[in-house]
Structure 1
């Protein structure tokens, strides 16, 4: 083995896709609060993309707004957080699955275009930092190549539930 091979860091583990059943094993959210349908392009400890297919059957559309349904911004940020939670659980391994993840901060939230029934949201999350059980992320919600929302947020994994 040459000296340069010894100093190389191992490649990051990449997973192609997690379906809804696997997501439900990893995070405790359930209908009507489970806001992602699958997760794709996971790079362990770094990033992933969540997919949310928005339908008129979402319970929040009955009141937001009946004549012109728009997905509430807080639900978009929650979908970002759930995508991040799947990344965290995947990164920490099976022993962490099902743990609660609580928001600590939401910063720099911007809502640029309404998300409506029929849209397919690609939720791109990137880890910015983590220390012990606190993780910080940047999330973006994209529909058809257009940035619709973005936020920076931190969450804490509850390790004693």
Structure 2
């Protein structure tokens, strides 16, 4: 899934679209996506000038957007569900047990993966993680719910 297909499913736009490409997905199960961290990102001059690292909240947002994409393609794949003309929004409603193991920096390619754990009373629960070159950067439980767009 390339940038155009992602933009059809997520409402985010530059500079807040945090998923560049979906490498693979299985509706109802998992998604693998990529995010290329650039030196021209708006946060680079101030976080931090001496040692630039991607803010943790943006790492969490990257995982949340991948989870939103997985929720969307899962709904799309359900045989009895007719998707509305305007795509539904999946709102982030919780982040559990976020852990930051190493920094992500400009030049890194984030490998974002998420697995759907379960859906309970309209709340979608995911396990998500980001790796750079096979090393864990961050992980968290992500919760989202579908709302009207």
What is the TM-score with the length of structure 1 in the denominator? 0.84
Residue 83 in structure 1 maps to residue 66 in structure 2: yes
Alignment CA distance shift 1:47-1:105 (3 Å): same
**Cα distance in structure 1, aligned partners of 2:88 and 2:17:** 15
Give the count of matched residue pairs.
143
Match of 2:42 in 1: 59
- Taking only aligned residues, the RMSD between alpha carbons, in angstroms, comes to 1.4
What do the CA deviations read for 1:17-64 (whole angstroms, capped 9, x no partner)? Answer: x00110000110101110010112201111011100001111111211
**Cα distance in structure 1, aligned partners of 2:134 and 2:91:** 30
- Structure 1 runs of 4+ aligned residues shifted over 6 Å read none
Alignment of 1:2-151 (within 5 A): 18-93=1-76, 95=83, 98-131=87-120, 133-151=122-140
**Cα distance in structure 2, aligned partners of 1:81 and 1:62:** 24
**Cα distance in structure 2, aligned partners of 1:104 and 1:139:** 15
Matched position secondary structure for 1:95: coil
CA offset at residue 132 of structure 1? 5.0
What do the CA deviations read for 1:66-97 (whole angstroms, capped 9, x no partner)? Answer: 22110011100100010111111111117166
Matched position secondary structure for 1:30: coil
Give structure 1 stretches of 5+ with no counterpart. Answer: 1-17
Matched position secondary structure for 2:58: helix
